[in-house]
Chains A and B, each alone.
Chain A
Amino acid sequence: MSVKSLLAGVAACLLIAQPTVANDAVTEREDRMKTLGSEAKTMASMVKGRSAFDADQFSFSAESMADAMEGMLDLFPAGSHGGDSAAKAKIWDNWEDFSAKNQAAVNAIAGLMNAADEGNEKAIKKAFGMVGKSCSGCHKKYRIKRD
């Protein structure tokens, strides 16, 4: 095999690999979002009083959220919208703002972790509300509406 055809082969592989990388990122970020949603649901159930208030559970859920947010921005490679993805194209036109909103969520979750460690029920519920606000803040602008 000539060097030329080898290079052509490598180039072709890269071209094929490109969308796969994006697809992996979409799948991974959607999985992470599901984790965030599931932790939010667990905590909301305590805020609503459907399950017993448990500060340790808030700690655990907030930490799981923090893990899910780790490196989240890397899961939004340029142009990974369209298809079944709910990401709006304008994420990449407003990357600075999108990054700031990501950071706001990271900060809100850190605030919730602190509150949970301190164990004050009222402060925890308030911090949980702030986390929700940070989620909405980004969804409002950058997620395609779904039922």
Chain B
Amino acid sequence: MSGGVALATDFGTFYPPNITPDNVHGIGFWSQTEFNHAMRHGISPDGDPYYPSFPYTSYTRMTDADLGDLKAYLDSLPAIGKATPEHDLGFPFNLRYGLHLWQWLNFTPETFLPNSHQSAAWNRGAYIVTGPGHCGECHSPRTLTMAMDTGVHLQGNEAGPDGEQVPGIDMSKRNQPWLLDDLLFAIQIGMTPDGDFFGGSMAEVVENTSQLTAADQHAIATYLANPEPPSNP
């Protein structure tokens, strides 16, 4: 959690910051309000907008309760006094004030709205996938202005981070949709229906998804079998 793992993109290299409770290099001095504002509005306690490499565009849907739990967990970790490199971006993307324009064009803070026509599991899955799980950030293509393209939500991205081709995970749009237990296996142990095991960044994702509760894993699979874009994108 002390940051620094490089994320290479077309715009340059992003270095995630230290989010341990260190008072100098981490976020130990943040209040819950500042933390929630960063997560849901993409604005730092100093009032600076964040690059969308920090997926507040998804986290914006997280509930107060989850953000409270998340901060409590981060606060419980050991503080690590380690500085992380500045993002290394080309012109004009290195000009942070340009992000005000980007946010104005592409981002509206929102809350998660359940779909009353769907089951509780489907809605739970929708919340995880479009909120804290931020699956669409890699699994959806981007628009010309690099916003997540919710019109083709979760239908894959030819140009993902680190030059990876990211497959579509909206099973209703695939020629050979994975069944519910295929999806479960993928997020539980990282196995595809043909017996292969994920490599690259999805293998890292599975290190996390494998630790979710069985009910949450089931909810994600239920939603991905027939997802809908966020109701208020």
Q: Give A residues with C-beta under 8 Å from B.
A: 36-42, 44, 47-50, 86, 129, 132-133, 135-137, 139-140, 142-147
Which 10 A-B residue pairs are closest in the complex by CB-CB distance? A41-B195, A145-B200, A139-B199, A140-B203, A37-B195, A143-B199, A40-B195, A135-B197, A132-B189, A136-B190
Given the known inter-chain contacts A37-B196, A146-B199, please indicate yes or no for A48 contacting B165, CB distance below 8 A.
no
11 contacts between A and B (CB under 8 A): A40-B196, A44-B185, A44-B191, A132-B189, A132-B191, A139-B197, A139-B200, A140-B200, A144-B199, A145-B164, A146-B199
Given the known inter-chain contacts A48-B185, A139-B198, A145-B164, please indicate yes or no for A40 contacting B191, CB distance below 8 A.
yes
Chain A proximity mask over B182-205: 1 for CB below 8 Å, otherwise 0: 100100111101111111111110
B206 CB–A CB distance under 8 Å: yes
List residues of chain B with CB within 8 A of the CB of A129: 188-189
Q: Give B residues with C-beta under 8 Å from A.
A: 164-165, 167, 181-182, 185, 188-191, 193-204, 206
Task: Tell me whether A136 and B193 are in contact (CB under 8 A).
Answer: no
Task: Tell me whether A37 and B189 are in contact (CB under 8 A).
Answer: no
In the complex, A48→B180 CA distance in Å? 10
List residues of chain A with CB within 8 A of the CB of B201: 145
B167, B195, B206: the one within 8 Å of A136 (CB): B206
List residues of chain A with CB within 8 A of the CB of B198: 136, 139-140
Task: Tell me whether A37 and B194 are in contact (CB under 8 A).
Answer: yes
In the complex, A139→B194 CA distance in Å? 15
CB nearest to A39 among chain B residues: B195
Task: Tell me whether A132 and B190 are in contact (CB under 8 A).
Answer: yes
CB nearest to B204 among chain A residues: A140
